[in-house]
Structure 1
């Protein structure tokens, strides 16, 4: 008889943990110059176009390279990959569509804003655990130029950014998941809800996303019967300096103090003092590249035994923003442990 894998209100506890077999990333020059620069697999050219004619095409190159490197690290061929879960920030997820078309692998296109890597890892792990694929890829990307064009202002406009704003990471991170053979494994997930506090400032996305991060982290701790101390790190995607402080306060109101365990990819990826990114980094590529090249190796080496990885997303579009709608948030949590 099959054992129940649902746990609590929103979580899954995998009885057969899913292994992360590899992680790979490609980033832009700005990210390569940051504190994590030495960890990324490949750093692109300074202009961010990578030999392409548009920002969107350049972002597709990021995904293509990240997936290629992740598959190569495992020693697999593309024919052995059963499916890809892929997403980005652009309308109709065109960075993913054009980036992975050449692999000729079945694909599910995803949109969870900057939380998409958490969504991709969650769905990919469920597919592997359910026996629907021996090898599955999760990949996301973002690009500063394409995101500014999609959501804010043309780069040539030279608009001033408030200190609450984050800088969209130019980068893509990919992971290959399988049933066995890795030194890190996904043991559980907590699927996030859409949380809306009515905030409308698209240049303060950390504040918009923090309530969703709080809700998902709280539910993970409740569902699994854990305390913050049971994790070596609780790692959010891209709350930045502003959102991180709000998250700490919100969780204290719920009875949990995560201050000592909390880390944010958006804060780690840039040097606040020298790189002029204000509140930190954001974008699908922020958590994806940080996870694939910095967090995952630490878990594989056993430096961190158990991590709660919580990419965060702001669910807005240029249509909803121009119509005066609020900016709801979502956060997807993935429990990753050392083998």
Structure 2
């Protein structure tokens, strides 16, 4: 059985659906000529009914759960959807009788690849491969740090390897810059994989849970020195023992992040700091004495009584009592309250009398 998959693996990268809407008639013709028995589309999508009318009885249109994306790329999981079962893989890609044709590949011109760069409003057309420098330029990234090609590729390449060729085996590509925390980036990716694991095998289901928990703890300031070594022990086992691609790709992605950015990730554990200043748990709030007008608005907004001061005194934030809720940021109309990561501004240790300038 052959199935055409129009389900976005990444919600922010609906390339196949974008190509379908861009040239509907030509896309319908390609789907009809593909020899597929069914086509998968997100339930409730505006083009689902129109596609069913256009294809008629030649190809069955099946509306699927839009909360999932990765799993529909697996042929055995996609085939189960046709009989009303849950999309749980029974084998890895290429190991069964069923096959999946990716919609983004089917609807694109031969030799080209449409990819959705993070933050873009529509995909861009590139070749099947591109250099790291070309992807960074296409994304308009300043100070690029790495290029990530999403599921099912799950590859990460350092921006320092500008001329290295990357295979665009995914609809989604993200270019990370100096402003991005790689621990937080890995956490976002792991939570997405954890959400979609099928639970068919212990290594995939429990392994993905353990990885997601460990990485989340690192970003929540709860990481332990042994965590990264545990990840390096767990990931190779998952790569060899998981029954379908999700656990394998997740493990490969984690290893790539550790190989390239282990020092930055370990800084969250060893130094208790987020070098990029992106992880919320590592942010601290400060009141700039040069801008504070002693209006007392921030004191009134803080429910934790973490702001020390009184009217006509420049205030100071008690870092031990502060919960980083951010309420004080919105209360200050003078821009005197700022957040800081690894580099902290110089602030007075205690409230000082306010003098009008």
In terms of fraction of residues, the more strand-rich structure is 1
- State TM-score, norm by structure 1: 0.29
Of the two, which has the highest radius of gyration?
Answer: 2
- State TM-score, norm by structure 2: 0.28
